[in-house]
A and B are shown apart, each in its own frame.
Chain A
C-alpha cells in the first residue's frame, strides 16, 4: 500500500465515523468556543461601559438634587415655634418634610423629618428630648445622631437663619 492509499483509507474511516449531517455541516468546536469567549469579552466590556455611565449618572443626579437644597425659604415665625416646641415645614421642595425644634438649652435646630431607616416621619418627643420614629421605635438626639432603634445614619440637617421673628431655611447638610 502506498502513502496515497493510506491517506485515502484514513479519510474513509473518518467519513464513516462522523454522521452525515456533520459531514454536510462541519463545525469547528474549538474555533467556535474561541470566538464565543472573544465575543463575551466584548459584550462584558460594553456592559462595563454602561455600568460606569450609570454610576456617573448618579453623580449628575445628585448634583441636580443638591442644587435645590441651597434655596432660601421662609418657614414660619420663631414665636410660633417657641409656643409649640417644634414646627413642621417643607424644605427644599414641597415633597421634603422637615422639623424644627427649640432645644431645652434654647438652641434652634432643624432636620429632615424622613427617618434614615425606612423613611417614616420622625416627631419631636419632649420626654426623650429627641426625635422619635414611631414606625420602628428609632430615636435621634437633638444633634440628629441616631441613639436608639434601627436607624444607623444621622438625619440631614437643615441650616436655619433667624431674622427678627422670622425663620428661614437656607441649606440642607447631609452628613
Chain B
C-alpha cells in the first residue's frame, strides 16, 4: 500500500473519530447550558473538563497529521 493510500485511510478514520468527539463536545455544551440555566452548577466543571480532554485528544491527532505530512514530504524529497 502506498504512503498516500495509507494516509487516506488513516485520515478517514481520524476524521470519523474527531467528528464523533466534536459531536460529544456539542452534547456536553448542551448539558452545561441546561445546567447553567437551571442553577445546577455542580455539573459544569466535569463537563468542561471532559470537553477539554476531548480537545486534547483532537489536538494530538492534528499534531499527528502535521507530523505525518512532514514525514511524507521528507520521504518524497
Contact = CB atoms under 8 A, between A and B. Distances in A.
Task: Note whether A and B form a binding pair.
Answer: yes
A152 to B, nearest CB: 10
Interface residues of B, number: 37
A80 interface: no
Nearest to A174: B39
Contact of A44 (B19, B35, B38, B40): B19
Interface stretch (A54-62, A101-109, A120-128, A129-137): A54-62
Contacts of A34: 4, 7-8, 11
Interface string B1-44: 00010011001101100110110011011001101101111001
A40 interface: yes
A47 B51 CA distance: 12
Contact of B48 (A48, A59, A66): A59
The main secondary structure of chain B at its interface with chain A is helix
Contacts of B29: 51, 54-55, 58
Given A42-B62, A44-B19, A52 B33 contact: no
B32 A40 contact: no
A116 B52 CA distance: 29
Contact of B36 (A31, A37, A49, A61): A61
Interface of B: 4, 7-8, 11-12, 14-15, 18-19, 21-22, 25-26, 28-29, 32-33, 35-36, 38-41, 44-45, 47-48, 51-52, 54-55, 58-59, 61-62, 65, 69
Given A34-B11, A52-B48, A55-B47, 16 more contacts: A31-B4, A33-B8, A34-B8, A38-B11, A40-B15, A41-B11, A44-B58, A45-B55, A48-B21, A48-B55, A49-B59, A55-B25, A56-B51, A65-B39, A112-B39, A174-B40
